[in-house]
């Protein structure tokens, strides 16, 4: 069930993808298909939210750390052995 938290970035990615498609190719598409893209992006984001909500409810609202394969290292240069990890520090 831990792998279900990996779909959390889709909440941002799906509407962004719909916006990009409609921004660049929306004028070339007819109005019905362009609106269908926007509605599908919004509805799929809502479905992802429902799945994540049920995951949190079943997990008793325990936090989950999501390590994306894209952001596994912020700056990495393997030839010199340099790795600066992606991290967030809290301000006190």
Measured distance CA(42)–CA(25) in Å, rounded: 18
- Judge whether 49 and 11 are in contact, CB under 8 Å: yes
pLDDT in tens, 35-84: 999 999 999 999 999 999 998 888 787 776 666 666 666 677 788 888 77
pLDDT in tens, 1-31: 567 777 888 899 999 999 999 999 999 999 9
Q: How far is CA 63 from CA 9, 33, 52, in A?
A: 15, 39, 12
Taking the model in full, what pTM does it have? 0.66
Which helix (H) or strand (E) segment holds residue 66: the answer is none
Measured distance CA(14)–CA(18) in Å, rounded: 6
How far separated are the first and last CA of the chain, in Å rounded? 33
Token pair 């509605």 is at which residue?
A: 39
H helices present in the chain, as ranges? 10-25, 31-58
Tokens of 8: 């959390």
């Amino acid at each position: 069930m831990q792998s279900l938290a990996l779909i959390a970035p889709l909440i941002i990615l799906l509407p962004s993808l719909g916006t990009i498609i409609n921004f660049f190719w929306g004028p070339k598409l007819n109005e019905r298909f362009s609106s269908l893209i926007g509605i599908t992006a919004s509805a799929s984001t809502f479905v992802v939210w429902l799945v994540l909500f049920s995951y949190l409810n079943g997990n008793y609202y325990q936090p989950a750390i999501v390590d994306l394969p894209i952001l596994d290292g912020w700056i990495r240069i393997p030839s010199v052995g340099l790795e600066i990890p992606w991290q967030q520090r809290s301000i006190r």
